[in-house]
Structure 1
């Protein structure tokens, strides 16, 4: 289900989190192609139409951040205007190339590792908030509180 684009002045933005279980240590030769691709992919994301924000440390990346207290889980979190903007970025260029190689770098898992949810414009989600949304999606399936691109929900109605 495709959600119509949200106007730039919309009261809601789309938060997304995806996590991945590393197969190797981040500084290993096996992960070098992935690590080398992070800055170029992030630079493209930062300029992408509909991009709003991404989780990063003061050093400008998120590779040191962890989720669920697990040293082998990497977290990527960003905010977008709407699902169409996120999808347009995901499936083009260098991001698409790295996405195609994800099983070289990350373990296959059965549980949901990606969640989307609507946030008030200007809100920046925390890792703890992302954990809650992932657990909600895993426990309850797609719902307005946590969903996927495949089964998405529109933003809440404006008051």
Structure 2
């Protein structure tokens, strides 16, 4: 059975190495969110560097997730001292569990504060797509799908939760998604 790949990308206002309280708060919140999401039903795994220091993304060993990559619109630093981005690449059993993990609980609280930490870029900040069972998506897959979403809108190749597609490419809808559902969380 296919699995859902989810790539997220955001440009931070401050570099990850910045000693400001806002950066510390972002890290602390992020660590709590990762712990919670890692126990969420339907979560299969996420890209994590095998041997990197905190904040090291470029040049880290990401194993089967491939070489680290970023969208063409990212124009900030690429060293540990200057990198100003937050990104994830994860694998899920289906749309609903991924949607629930993103839009409920601790992650939802963090989303409500995203503009404290992230710049408003006008670019999409996440993309979903289906992968065959046993396939591990790569960072480059995520980047190319996010750029495709930006250039062409939702399609079976690259889509959002709100304009989603089933593994066979037919449009689908997550039950109870939308403004009514978002207000209840």
Segments of 5+ residues of structure 1 without an aligned counterpart are 1-10
Alpha-carbon spacing, 1:120–1:80, altered in 2? closer, same or farther (3 Å) = same
Contact 1:62 1:75 in 2 (8 A): no
Match of 2:71 among 62, 68, 71: 68
- Counterpart residue number, 2:92: 80
**Is the partner of 1:49 in helix, strand or coil?**
coil
Provide TM-score, normalisation by structure 1.
0.84
Q: Is the 2:15–2:85 contact (alpha carbons within 8 Å) kept by the matching residues of 1? A: no
User: 2:126 aligns to what?
Assistant: 114
How many residues are aligned here?
A: 147
Cα offset, 1:61, TM superposition: 8.7
Which secondary structure state, in structure 2, belongs to the residue aligned with residue 24 of structure 1? coil
Distance 2:96 2:29 in 1: 23
TM-score, normalising length: structure 2? 0.73
What is the rounded CA distance, in whole Å, between the counterparts of 1:62 and 1:119 in structure 2?
29
Provide the residue aligned with 1:147 in structure 2.
159
Residue 25 (structure 1) aligned with residue 15 (structure 2)? yes
> Does the Cα contact within 8 Å between 1:17 and 1:115 map onto a contact in 2?
yes
Which SS does the other structure have where 1:36 is aligned? helix
User: Within the alignment, does 1:132 sit opposite 2:144 as a pair?
Assistant: yes
Deviation at 1:137, TM superposition (A): 0.9
Which of residues 88, 102, 123 is equivalent to 2:135?
A: 123
- Where structure 2 has 5 or more consecutive residues not aligned to the other structure, the ranges are 59-69, 78-83, 170-185
Post-superposition shift, 1:39?
1.9
- C-alpha distance 138-13 of structure 1, shift in aligned 2 (>3 A): same
2:34 pairs with one of 17, 42, 66: 42
Aligned residues of 1:65 and 1:74 also touching (Cα < 8 A): no
Report the counterpart of residue 13 of structure 1 in structure 2.
3
Higher relative contact order (CA 8 A, sep 6+): 1
